Amino acid sequence: MSHIDLLDAPDFRRKLDQCIHCGLCLSACPTYAVNQLEMDSPRGRIALMRGAADGRIGLAGAFQEHIDLCLGCRACETACPSGVQYGLLLETAKAALAEEQTSARRGGAEVQRVAEELRGVSPVFSAQPPRFRASAPKRNGMAELVQRFGLRELMPSRARLRWLARGLWLYQRLGLTAIARRVLPQLPPALTTMEGMAPPIRLDYPDYSRPAPAYGQRRGKVAFFTGCVQDAFLAGVNRATVRVLQRNGYEVHFPASQTCCNAAALHSGDTAFARDLARQNIDAFAGGDFVAIINNAGGCGASLKGYGHLLADDPAYAARAQAFVTKVKDISEFLFDHLHNPPTGRVQARVTYMDSCHLRHGQKVSKQPRALLRSIPGLELVELSQPDMCCGSAGIYNLLQPEMANTVLDRKLADVRATHAGIIVTANTGCYMQMVYGVKRAGLNATVMHVVEVLERAYANTVSE
């Protein structure tokens, strides 16, 4: 499908028309908070999409800049009183950009005209130049090749990602980190971010070759979606997830042919490949009579729950996708209803919880992780002043747009610092790694953990008491 077909589709236009230009989403948008520029707000981006759909602006240049600078955090969806499905609009815009790489560069002047039109509806319109421009177009040459290799060859392969993790483990064990930190300030900020994001690698991966048995009274069996980066680089989170499920009476299965959820493919506009991955996962988790399909990463979960929409026009998979989605649960969402054996061990710590955007805004799961944390004896939960504001991770956004990502991160770190928390709890792979980097960047005396790691620590303390 050409970019014109994508943008001119009646469903896309109907979704655009849901925006009533009220501007209530602006204060929720991290990029608007930084740049104070209408075109870097949800309303401005929707206006750009409408301009592109009407053929008034091209996709190259300014359109791409403002779309690429969007974090995809979907905070605007939660704030919107009109039910605008911004995440789906953005997916289509990204897909159109991927399709149309050589559009005539008539964007800049036309975008200004759309901006002028917005003066009438936007009291906060600013003609100031943005503080940060999106990085130069990445959809060409070597960057395109690397991105494509990463999305198509690396992320769907557990074996390849684990080899990468082993390389990182060796790098950390040889103490090359200290040397690299002396060199990295001279290199592009994306490399500094990448190096800083790496958590201490552990290679004792959970055994996925056979089901993990339930402990105590058996309540049923669940399937576990292991994730790609999550599995290779944060094995401890997956291990804790399995243990907590076992402790609550669930037998945990690991369907062997599962693959990457497709979030990264969707975010880069590779819709065809995203559909292939979705079909593969639906096949992998078919049958088995599972109570639920559990995942522990907000970004993956939002993508898995999006399969129904993604495959709605696929006659062979539409119904199966809907059935699959009804079973997908974030681990906090599932445990909130199925914590049959609450932990009794203490975790004596001051803790803050930062929402994963795709868990809170994409899946509407926010009270469950907090309730689980509050159930742990000794734990003091301190709320951030803006717990729902993005941390700047957003998949690989922090590598593609490091300046904006770091500015958004620094706001989050200031918020974290004010809580004096010793543990920063997250519920998503990207947020976890971003905060590992953030703790180093801000020199915080804090540990980063996933909700299930804190729960597992409480269970472990029960055993040792």
Taking the complex as a whole, the smallest distance from the CB of residue 212 to ligand SF4 amounts, in Å, to 37
Which C-beta is closer to ligand SF4: that of 14 or that of 182?
14
Which C-beta is closer to ligand SF4: that of 24 or that of 325?
24
Find the distance separating the first CA and the last CA of the chain, reported in whole Å: 62
Which C-beta is closer to ligand SF4: that of 20 or that of 146?
20
Which C-beta is closer to ligand SF4: that of 19 or that of 278?
19
Q: Which of 394, 349, 416, 399 is nearest to 135 (CA)?
A: 399
H/E element, 448: strand 447-450
Label the pairing between strands 220-224 and 250-253: parallel
Locate 212 and state its tokens.
């993990």
Given a contact cutoff of 8 angstroms between Cβ atoms, the answer to whether 214 and 242 are in contact is no
Taking the complex as a whole, the smallest distance from the CB of residue 235 to ligand SF4 amounts, in Å, to 30
DSSP string, 154-172: ITT-HHHHHHHHHHHHHHH
**Residue whose pair of structure tokens reads 């005539």 in the numeric block:** 104
Cα–Cα distance, 201 to 171 (Å, whole number): 10
Taking the complex as a whole, the smallest distance from the CB of residue 141 to ligand SF4 amounts, in Å, to 26
Q: Which of 369, 365, 433, 371 is nearest to 398 (CA)?
A: 433
Number of separate helices (H) and strands (E) present in the chain = 26, 8
Which C-beta is closer to ligand SF4: that of 71 or that of 331?
71
Taking the complex as a whole, the smallest distance from the CB of residue 82 to ligand SF4 amounts, in Å, to 4
Which C-beta is closer to ligand SF4: that of 76 or that of 265?
76
Query: Would you give the DSSP letter of residue 215?
Result: P
Question: Which residues here bind ligand SF4, judged by CB under 6 A?
Answer: 19-25, 28-31, 42-43, 45-46, 70-76, 79-80, 82, 84, 86
Which C-beta is closer to ligand SF4: that of 28 or that of 421?
28
Taking the complex as a whole, the smallest distance from the CB of residue 229 to ligand SF4 amounts, in Å, to 21
Locate 334 and state its tokens.
């599932």
Taking the complex as a whole, the smallest distance from the CB of residue 24 to ligand SF4 amounts, in Å, to 4
CA distances (Å), origin 191, targets 132, 196, 228, 351, 434: 19, 8, 21, 30, 13
Which C-beta is closer to ligand SF4: that of 75 or that of 376?
75
Taking the complex as a whole, the smallest distance from the CB of residue 283 to ligand SF4 amounts, in Å, to 31
Helix 86-99 to helix 42-53 angle, to the nearest 10 degrees?
A: 50
Taking the complex as a whole, the smallest distance from the CB of residue 247 to ligand SF4 amounts, in Å, to 36
Give 449's strand partners: 425
Taking the complex as a whole, the smallest distance from the CB of residue 14 to ligand SF4 amounts, in Å, to 14
User: Residue 318: exposed, middle, or buried by beta-carbon count in 10 A (0-12, 13-18, 19+)?
Assistant: middle
Which C-beta is closer to ligand SF4: that of 29 or that of 427?
29
Given a contact cutoff of 8 angstroms between Cβ atoms, the answer to whether 402 and 193 are in contact is yes
